[in-house]
């Protein structure tokens, strides 16, 4: 059984005709083990512990491959700069804590439904969407 998520993902890549290299495995491991939402530089830092030679350029190249393969999700935030997460969980949106920078996930079927209705009314079909609530902890 492919119980290990990283293993399942490498398999998905191989099936997609993408080579699974040492550096890609390192990055996948770091991604699956990340509880937070790291940016490219942070992923690079962490993955280097597993593969010292890994370059930042490859991190970027790999992230875009993984995104294309549907294995990771890139979330570009307000300040420019993007954060990444594995695309295993069902779709969700994000709350960004303005003070700590921490990201909380949430999901609302109702909102998704409303979005679809609104787009349809205007003659559009949603390909994907983004929603971020920039918040502060309630006192």
- Nearer to a second copy by Cβ, of 17 and 80: the residue is 80
The pattern of x and - marking residues 63 through 92 that bind a second copy according to CB under 8 A reads -------------x-xxx------------
Q: How far is CA 60 from the centre of its chain?
A: 13
Chain length of the chain: 139
Q: What is the DSSP string of 68-121?
A: HTTSEEEEE-TTS-EEEEETTSPP-EEEEETTT--EEEE--HHHHHHHHHHHHH
Residue 50 phi/psi, 5° resolution?
Answer: -95, -30
Q: How far apart are CA 118 and CA 126, in angstroms?
A: 10
By CB under 7 A, tell whether 138 contacts DNA. no
126 binds, among DNA, a second copy, none (CB under 5 to 8 A by kind): a second copy
| Binding-site string for a second copy from residue 25 to residue 64, where x marks contact by CB under 8 A and - marks none | ----------------------------------------
Applying CB under 8 A, the residues found at the interface with a second copy are 76, 78-80, 95, 97-98, 104, 106, 108, 110-111, 114-115, 118-120, 122-138
């Amino acid at each position: 059984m492919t119980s290990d998520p990283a293993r399942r993902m490498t398999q998905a890549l191989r099936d997609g005709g993408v080579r699974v290299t040492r550096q890609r495995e390192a990055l996948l491991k770091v991604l699956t083990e990340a509880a937070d939402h790291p940016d490219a530089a942070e992923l690079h830092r962490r993955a280097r512990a597993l593969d010292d030679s890994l370059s930042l350029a490859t991190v970027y190249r790999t992230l875009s491959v993984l995104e294309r393969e549907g294995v990771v999700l890139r979330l570009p935030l307000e300040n420019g700069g993007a954060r990444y997460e594995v695309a295993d969980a069902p779709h969700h949106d994000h709350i960004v804590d303005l003070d700590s920078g921490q990201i909380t996930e949430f999901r609302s079927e109702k909102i998704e439904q409303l979005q679809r209705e609104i787009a349809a009314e205007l003659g559009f079909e949603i390909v994907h969407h983004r929603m971020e609530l920039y918040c502060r902890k309630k006192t």
